[in-house]
Structure 1
Amino acid sequence: MAKRLIPLFNRILVEKIVPPSKTNSGILLPEKTSKLNSGKVVAVGPGIRDRDGKLIPVHVKEGETVLLPEYGGTEVKLGDKGYHLYREDDILGTLHD
């Protein structure tokens, strides 16, 4: 049985997107290619409560691609996969095609 992490409060579980190191035809790509620090949202918490007790929901949704800060987040390992846990405030934006 696989474990599933459901974040608390306004936290977001992200699987970082690693750019390919070579093309489909086998050509190696240099490390210094332009890459965004991005990830796919795997799970989101329910949100946080304001001073009056009103729930403020998280704005990103599962499945969205988000732009991540260069540093930060908490690394989490579930099974053989690595994820990162961020607060909603740390997410820089969402990426759309």
Structure 2
Amino acid sequence: MKVGLKMLHDQVLIRPHEEKDGAGGIYIPDSAKKKPTMGLVVAVGAGAKNSNGTLDPMCVKEGDVVLYRKWAGSEVEHDGVEYVVMKETDIIAIKEGK
């Protein structure tokens, strides 16, 4: 999924997974929804430089579904789509399998 943004350093662009409604189709207002902590990685930077001046490779890649810290990163909007930009260190886990 190309979004037209190139992340720098160890930054990761994530499209959060959000609940659309509650159990049984009950509408939940935005103010009552939990902040998402899982999402799809859509862009990844090249990595951060370590103390030796070389790049540490990124552990996540485009297409990964990840679990991240609840208040991590900054919310941004691009082309009408909401994303979260964060450092790779704010990502807790990569979902395996389906």
Name the SS for the 2:25 alignment partner: coil
Matched residue count: 93
TM-score (normalizing by structure 1)? 0.80
1:56 maps to 56
Alpha-carbon distance in structure 1 between the residues aligned to 2:67 and 2:56: 21
Deviation at 1:54, TM superposition (A): 1.4
Indicate the residue corresponding to 2:18 in structure 1. Answer: 18
Q: Which residue of 1 aligns with 2:86?
A: 86
Q: CA deviation at 1:3?
A: 6.3
Superposition deviation, residue 37 in structure 1: 1.9
Gaps of 5+ in 1: none
CA RMSD of aligned residues (A): 2.7
Mapped to 1, the partners of 2:80 and 2:70 lie a distance apart of 23
Say which structure is richer in helix.
Answer: 2
TM-score, normalised to structure 2, is 0.79
Tell me, yes or no, if the aligned pair for 2:3 and 2:42 is still in contact at 8 Å: no
Q: Give the equivalent residue in structure 1 for 2:25.
A: 28
Judged with a 3 Å threshold, the aligned counterparts in structure 2 of structure 1 residues 68 and 3 are, in CA distance, closer, same or farther, namely closer
